[in-house]
Amino acid sequence: MSRFGGIRVVVVGGAGGIGGRIAERFAEEGADVLVLDLLRGADPALGGASSAGPGRGIRHCDLVDAVSVEAAFAVALAELGGIDVLVNSAGILARGSLLDLAPERWDLVMDINARGTLFAMQHAARAMIDQGAGGTIVNIASMAAKAGGGDEGAYAASKAAVVGLTRAAALEWGEHLIRVNALLPGYVLTDMGKDTRTDEDVATWSKKSPLGRLGTPDDVAGFALFLASVDGEYLTGQSFNVTGGMIMH
């Protein structure tokens, strides 16, 4: 399929998990995709190419470091020739009581999940404005932004910030034909969490959905591609629950 033939896509946090599947799906449908992700031991100058799969390249990007983000987007613009779609999928989870949450742990979660998302949005939006043809930004938040989440207070707060950024950016950049939306996944079965989840965990979480199952990366990826397609042209500033009915508001 070539639904996205000629479309230039940057996926931040696309080396694996939900972001990885989104990058794969765009590539499968004809897009020119570049993944920006944290590569341990990478050359800060981002020299050399490495592969993230068919139709995808991957370059180093440390969301905690504003200079690294700026350099990564400079490389993306040079290699792709512009940006039509940005997907922000990077994030970390910090578990534990808010009463015991250390300041440095709070800062790290907010720096990556919220501040890093803002930096990526800024660089992509500037490119889209310069191009003069608009574009699409899809931010991957979490149902924790609405539901809180007992021992995930910092994570929930950071993802609520992403929802707020999505709305603010949609209002500010709409005049440039830039659409900004957020996806709020529920429990999604990714390889990243397979070492810590049990069959009992999966069964318990599945009962939270009226559909009786957990989400898959494809469930989220399909919606992300819809938002970036012509079928999603009149959607902006929205936060869509991709939770199998676990959240209905």
Among 4, 73, 119, 155, the one annotated catalytic: 155
Q: Which of 145, 232, 231, 218 is nearest to 180 (CA)?
A: 232
CB atoms within 10 A of CB 17: 20
* 187 counts as catalytic: no
9: which strand partners?
Answer: 33, 85
- Residue indicated by tokens 């079928």: 231
- Active site members: 155
